[in-house]
Structure 1
Amino acid sequence: MKAFASFALCCALIAPANAAAIAQLKAFVAGTKTLSASFSQTVSSKNGQEKASGQMEIQRPGKLRWTYTQPYEQLIVGDGKTLWVYDKELAQITKRNQAGTLGSSPAALLAGSNAIERDYLLREVGRQGAVEWLAATPRKGDNTFDGIKMGFSANQLVEMELTDSFGNVTRISFSNIRKNPPLTASHFSFTPPKGVDVVSE
């Protein structure tokens, strides 16, 4: 199962560090213009588990860069209009319309506008250790994900849990989080390498 199938992800009003999850989400969204973090991802399905890790950067609105380094190399770049998925192992690039691909997915929440309460019903689901959790249920039935949980600590998104329509569960943990680092526009542009097939969808 390739990481893009479950690729996802969210994105500071200053809320108290120990505030409930919805207040922390709103603070995070309001104050985050750029974000970088390392991530580790586990996808659980009826076929077992697949682990992946890498680095992600976003620049709101609309720009994102996900680099998977383990167990295979894959680069996902969104420049606001086009989403490029470069699978180095297959030497293949997929080109998609970014808005149509991301829709109201968690990735769109991270890199998009402050529209989470328009697209999702939010509810608190409690505290686990130092992390406050909320559940986000899509208002539209055509969303890729049936259920989304987000965990916050000190007004930072530190964990996500995504359940898709097939029952697969993706858990993503973020570390080395940097809020509003300087990121250049060229960081979110992509030029296909020579000799690599490009498939448009």
Structure 2
Amino acid sequence: MRHLLLLALSLPSFAGGLDQLNQFLEQTKSFTADFQQTVTQKAGKQQQAGGSMAILRPGRFDWRYTKPYEQRVVGDGKQLWIHDPDLNQVTRKQLDRALGDSPAALLAGSNELSKSYQLSEAGKRDGLEWVEATPKQRDTGFERVRIGFKEAQPMAMELADSFGQTTLIRFSKVVRNPKLGADRFQFSPPAGADVVSAD
């Protein structure tokens, strides 16, 4: 009985979403995963997309859509770049306006999320412990963001915007703290691309 008690005390406790969020922020420098994204419009119509992502904290991320179209969203620590190969267009923004274009911006941010978001427990659903993050500023394009954790790893995100649209992202093939070079998160517009500044 004593051995069972000691074993129980030695195992990590993932009781709440906020605890897992804090552990993720404190112990994660880099993160890679594949993702499947489902956007549900207010009328119920759904759109599917998928790809891969990588973050290097703080402030760097690389979010790549591979289906049904190609698009790359890069945060280089200062600016946000959105490359649409089909349009031969690159959009450039300030990084602090990135959440509406890539949910990775929240995971790649600083440890002080409470400065920009009101954080609260959002209960357990689908085997995950959820945290709700409500932006304190209203220009992010989103009313709220929920992150679902399992063993201190983000496994899903759910974003609700002001138009009644919901985006659900599920992560797979998650790798925590892989070795990533900063050059992966640098972006130079391709020759001949139309560069648009959205600042």
TM interval, short-chain normalised: 0.7 to 0.9
1:46 corresponds to which letter in structure 2?
Answer: K
Q: Which moved more, 1:33-42 or 1:82-91?
A: 82-91
Paired with 2:144 and 2:99, the residues of 1 have a C-alpha distance of: 16
Distance change >3 Å, CA 200–CA 143, structure 1 → 2: closer
Which structure 1 residue ranges, 5 or more long, are not aligned?
A: 1-14
1:191 matched to 2:188 = yes
Cα offset, 1:39, TM superposition? 0.4
Asked whether the 8 Å contact 2:55–2:104 carries over to 1, the reply is no
TM-score normalised over the length of structure 2: 0.86
1:57 matched to 2:54 = yes
Paired with 1:129 and 1:22, the residues of 2 have a C-alpha distance of: 17
Distance change >3 Å, CA 101–CA 154, structure 1 → 2: closer
**1:174-189 alignment, distance < 5 Å:** 174-189=171-186
1:73 aligns to what? Answer: 70
2:171 corresponds to which letter in structure 1?
Answer: F
Paired with 2:139 and 2:85, the residues of 1 have a C-alpha distance of: 30
Distance change >3 Å, CA 90–CA 182, structure 1 → 2: same
Cα offset, 1:106, TM superposition? 4.6
Paired with 2:97 and 2:120, the residues of 1 have a C-alpha distance of: 27
1:82 corresponds to which letter in structure 2?
Answer: Q
Asked whether the 8 Å contact 2:88–2:193 carries over to 1, the reply is yes
* Equivalent residue in structure 2 for 1:37, among 33, 39, 42: 33
1:167 aligns to what? Answer: 164
TM-score normalised over the length of structure 1: 0.85
Q: Which moved more, 1:184-193 or 1:123-132?
A: 123-132
Number of matched pairs: 186
* Equivalent residue in structure 2 for 1:109, among 69, 92, 106: 106
- Matched position secondary structure for 1:24: helix
1:24 aligns to what? Answer: 20
**1:81-120 alignment, distance < 5 Å:** 81-102=78-99, 106-120=103-117
Asked whether the 8 Å contact 2:99–2:140 carries over to 1, the reply is no
RMSD over aligned CA atoms reads: 1.9
Percent pairwise identity: 48
